Structure 1
Amino acid sequence: MRRLLLIAFGAVTFYHLIALAWGWPNPFWLMPLNTLLQWGFALAHALPTLGRHRALLLLGLTFGISLTLEAVGVATGWIYGPYAYTERLGPRLLSVPVLIPLAWFMMAYPAFLLACIALDEPPASPRGWGVAVLAAMWMTGWDLAMDPAMARRGFWVWQEAGPYFGVPVRNFIGWMVTMLLIYGLYLGISRRWPSPASVPAPMGEAVVAYAIAGAAFVFYPLLNPRADPLMQALGIVAFFTMGPPVWIAFLRLRALRAGRRVLGA
């Protein structure tokens, strides 16, 4: 089921990308479906990798904290800057579309796993706080491409134009603070728990999921050379913010596999 979700996520992402670039039919439900597929994969991967209790803890912290801070942000303009969601993202909870806290988790989990791979930390119980900082940076790296693109497509409106493609700089500070709070609480609560008895899912799958999310931005201007200049710029941004985590994790996993082969010989 986990791999089917990952394959489906990749297929829907690719079709959505083609539809946007080449004018193919692009039903409104494609984006919510894509979010649910990636969220489902992240949870299915987290359950055996972190253990059920840790996976549900990270899910609960991500959902609860992101929803709360988003609700405060929408109501007051604090944290991320003044913005408002449009009707395009569906049902809301506390004035925040339900898809939003799901989207936070669908990327917070692979960003966390990539940081663990890069720093050679066990995902279920990282020993250092460097994982939280690096994962928060790599999560915010996704938002550097995602936020201006989603605003341009009309999913939310910034009521105060900022210097970064119309996005206020404090939005990204807010993202870092949000993720440091989530990861910090997760590490603080879970580090005393016993290690899970389950067999972790292959780490490469989480790397692929993060890579697919970044590739959607990178390949769009390649498929449509006449694309909006903003989208072309965001493709470059995604390449240099989301590409390095994927490459670092790939090289690290390859080195680990090579080491195991040597020991096996």
Structure 2
Amino acid sequence: MASVLGAALLAAMVVAQVASGLQPRPIVLTSVVVLLLAASALAFASATHSPARAVAAFTAVVAAGYAAEWVGIRTGVPFGDYHYTGVLQPAPGGVPVIVALAWGGMGLAAHAVAAAVAPGSRAARIVTGALALTAWDLFLDPQMIRLGLWVWHDPGPYRDVPLSNFAGWLLVSLLVMALLEGVLTEPTAWSTGLVSIYTVMAVMETIGFAAVFVPPDPLVATAGGLSMGLFTLLAWRRGRRRPPSAEEGRA
């Protein structure tokens, strides 16, 4: 049942994401997309690892993401100097809750990609998952800057995003993957649902930047599409040779 719920939430996320791409200022729908993403990831993780482990893993990543952002806006470490504009609410301590939830949802999805790509090595899963999660930010930061959700104090070369941001993302993502490896009882379990979330985000963001957003941005579409696309293809190619989790198999 958890996998069916996850699929329904993922379908709703796609609808919300399409709608958000057609709006000139889709702030509310952007938050809805993240909420559906997080809920779908939690449901799929419950089907693969058990509800208790899924909640524990999700909570750990949300807490790590929130802590990194809280430190980041005060010190500039590890991402660089930036601040949130106040558009996203609620934001206790200056960090929007929706941002922490995004870390949780995509953290689980990126870890599932790593579990499919490198099931035999814990170290390889941590590095692969961190790279897969960082690849998502090639889309995320340019899109959120467009929407005026945060501002970089010293704009960088990639659509005003400094390179320090991606170094910081990689560092925090390594921590996130290490946490998931420690919390999940079966860190190598193959979850088609979680990998589907990562796949959908890769496809939708590529289409959005290539043809939907005004103006379109071929650079971001190419950079993000190739990066997330590589991990997507590797995950499906290697993961399809393995059976799904017990509950996913029954669904």
TM interval, shorter chain, is 0.7 to 0.9
Q: Specify the SS of the correspondent of 1:78.
A: coil
Q: Specify the SS of the correspondent of 2:161.
A: coil
CA distance in structure 2 between the aligned counterparts of 1:28 and 1:182, rounded to whole angstroms: 27
The aligned length equals 238
What's the counterpart of residue 12 of structure 2?
8
Q: Is the 1:57–1:186 Cα contact (8 Å) retained in structure 2? A: no
- 1:42-191 equivalences under 5 Å are 42-121=41-120, 128-187=122-181, 189-190=182-183
- Residues 55 and 163 (structure 1), Cα distance of their counterparts in 2 relative to 1, 3 Å cut: same
CA RMSD of aligned residues (A): 2.3
Q: Structure 1 length as normaliser, TM-score?
A: 0.82
What's the counterpart of residue 262 of structure 1?
none
Q: Structure 2 length as normaliser, TM-score?
A: 0.86
What's the counterpart of residue 247 of structure 1?
233
Displacement, 1:73?
A: 0.8
CA distance in structure 1 between the aligned counterparts of 2:209 and 2:31, rounded to whole angstroms: 22
Q: Confirm whether residue 30 of structure 1 aligns to residue 29 of structure 2.
A: yes
Q: Specify the SS of the correspondent of 1:167.
A: coil
Give the aligned residue type for 1:10: V
Q: Confirm whether residue 238 of structure 1 aligns to residue 242 of structure 2.
A: no
Q: Is the 1:149–1:234 Cα contact (8 Å) retained in structure 2? A: no
* Percent identity of paired positions between Structure 1 and Structure 2: 29
CA distance in structure 2 between the aligned counterparts of 1:173 and 1:254, rounded to whole angstroms: 31
Flag structure 1 segments of 5+ consecutive residues without an equivalent.
Answer: 122-126, 258-265
Displacement, 1:34?
A: 0.8
Q: Is the 2:65–2:100 Cα contact (8 Å) retained in structure 1? A: yes
Flag structure 2 segments of 5+ consecutive residues without an equivalent.
Answer: 244-251
Q: Specify the SS of the correspondent of 1:69.
A: helix
What's the counterpart of residue 204 of structure 1?
192
